[in-house]
Amino acid sequence: MPPASGIYVDGEWVESSTGETTGVEDPATGETVGEIHVASASDAERAIEAAVGAQAEWAATPGPERGAILRRTGELLAERKDGVAETLTREEGKTLAEASGEVQRAVDIFHYYGEKAREIGGTVKAASSSEKRLRTEKEPLGTVSLITPWNYPIAIPAWKLAPALATGNTAVLKPATVAPGPSRAIVECLAEAGLPAGVANYVTGSGSELGPVLTEHEDVDGVSFTGSTVVGTGVYQSAAADMKRVQCEMGGKNPTVVAPSADFEAAVEAVGAGAFGVTGQACTACSRAVVHEDVYDEFVSAVADYAESLTVGSGLDDVDMGPHVTADELESTLEYVDIARDEGATLVTGGGRPSDDDAAAGHFVEPTVFADVESDMRIAREEVFGPVLAVIEVSDLDEAIAVANDVEFGLSASIFTQDLSETHAFTDRVEAGVAKVNEKTTGLELHVPFGGYKGSSTNTYREQGDAAIDFFTSTKTVYLNY
């Protein structure tokens, strides 16, 4: 096992002040694959102080120079892609193919914002006088706290860190403790690329210990969080108490509507991939298939066949689906299976742990499909965060959209149809921040805004693309008379 990973403060890897470490477990085997230092509140304060101290010089660094460091970071990350992907699989559990794709996503994000740093500026507007010039400028917020989850342990840190640094902010990143290795690789690459000391800092440890400092500290100017709705709501309320800028992306209960005119095989493939890809541990995972009665029975049979065709095992092997990240996540999914049965839903396939001996040590669960689900059942309303699909029968598009909207979340939603009128009705009326047509609910383009409605987001600022630039900057209007 490698030595314990320290925290990164003011350009140095150091031990935490507590001297405590905690293990990182491979969810497929139960083996301890690493250790991290458990930072204290005082460590988080030191990291913020370092970021504040570095902020003025970093903000004054020309955008192209900042961008060059980000591009070099992407290049270094690409060189380490295979090793980082393996670390991601060993810590988080997703398949090696999924992990490799996620690392590539992080590479692409750093390349994208490396180029965006060249064009961060403002606008020129017509003034009311011939001897006046009127323009806007974008300025960095200052120092920002970035709190990221375990389910995309390199992509999400990348899409927060890269725009924050591109716009001249300094940052303190706190990743989830169960899968910290991939985000550590980002920080290592940033340092090797020439990022000045203090600009990016990295602390690992308990959210209950570090969270209040990162969200409430008077020198923190902005907070970006991704995680559960319960925790995100607390983060928002805590950070907004002194008028900090806050952005929280949270849970989902994402539907795919299947109309009678749909390309049936494509719909089955997309729902299956959206429900069971990354073990269903994605905020955009498809957890509800809302299917027209004309194709309902056929769809239930086909998507169950899809689920049964998937191989489950260690992500390092040639499998289709890896384990849950922790025993608690596995137990939560199994509890929802019991809840669905008790409520009267029909278990079509899955619902338990794989029976083979190789799976005994890991947090494995079978891809699961429930039919005869009513929209008021908990299995249709609450975020399971596992490979469990609820199939709901509807009689027309109006009912399908009503069912799709009848939850507290509104992150991603899709429809499969060949009817243009249905396409427009769905995208106009569905209550989701991401609306897709003939495409799975998961998967995002990195240059367009991402975020949700209702309980899926604080509905303040979006992430990714130009929206991230907007979040991490303040606008100054300049009146120049001469």
pLDDT for position 444:
95
Q: What is the chain's mean pLDDT, rounded?
A: 96
Taking the C-alpha atoms of residue 251 and residue 282, their distance in angstroms, rounded to an integer, is 9
Tell me the pLDDT band of 1, cut-offs 50, 70 and 90.
very low
Nearest in space to 329 (alpha carbons), one of 357, 365, 375, 369 = 365
Active site residue 283: yes
Say yes or no to pLDDT of 433 above 60.
yes
- Identify whether the C-beta of residue 442 lies closer than 8 Å to the C-beta of residue 286: yes
pLDDT for position 361:
86
User: Angle at Cα 191 formed by Cα 185 and Cα 194, nearest 5°?
Assistant: 140
Nearest in space to 200 (alpha carbons), one of 227, 239, 232, 160 = 160
pLDDT digits (tens, 9 = 90+) for 129-159: 999 999 999 999 999 999 999 999 999 999 9
pLDDT for position 193:
98
For every residue of 352-410, DSSP letters joined together read S---SGGGTTTT----EEEES--TTSHHHHS---SSEEEEEEESSHHHHHHHHHSSSEE
pLDDT digits (tens, 9 = 90+) for 190-240: 999 999 999 999 999 999 999 999 999 999 999 999 999 999 999 999 999
Residue 427, CB-side half-sphere exposure with 13 Å CA sphere: 13
pLDDT digits (tens, 9 = 90+) for 387-424: 999 999 999 999 999 999 999 999 999 999 999 999 99
CATH of the domain at 376: 3.40.309.10
Residue 450 lies in a domain: no
Same domain for 78 and 132, yes or no, is: yes
Same domain for 382 and 462, yes or no, is: no
Same domain for 230 and 275, yes or no, is: no
The residues, any chain, with a CB within 8 Å of residue 75's CB and separated by 6 or more, are none
- Residue 114: count other Cβ atoms within 10 Å of its Cβ: 24
> DSSP 3-state assignment of 481?
strand
Nearest in space to 400 (alpha carbons), one of 411, 415, 412, 389 = 415
Same domain for 297 and 266, yes or no, is: yes
Taking the C-alpha atoms of residue 120 and residue 465, their distance in angstroms, rounded to an integer, is 12
Same domain for 359 and 465, yes or no, is: no
pLDDT for position 63:
97
Same domain for 68 and 121, yes or no, is: yes
Burial (Cβ within 10 Å: 0-12, 13-18, ≥19) of residue 15: middle
Phi and psi of 234, rounded to 5°?
-65, -40
Phi and psi of 199, rounded to 5°?
-70, -45
Exactly one of 189, 248, 283, 286 is catalytic; which is it? 283
pLDDT for position 5:
72
CATH of the domain at 100: 3.40.605.10
pLDDT for position 4:
63
411-440: buried (b, 16+ CB within 10 Å) or exposed (e) per residue?
bbbbbbbeeeebbebbeeebbbbbbbeebb
pLDDT digits (tens, 9 = 90+) for 262-285: 999 999 999 999 999 999 999 999
User: Angle at Cα 89 formed by Cα 84 and Cα 93, nearest 5°?
Assistant: 155
Total count of domains within the chain? 2
Range of the domain at 392: 254-437
Phi and psi of 204, rounded to 5°?
-120, 145
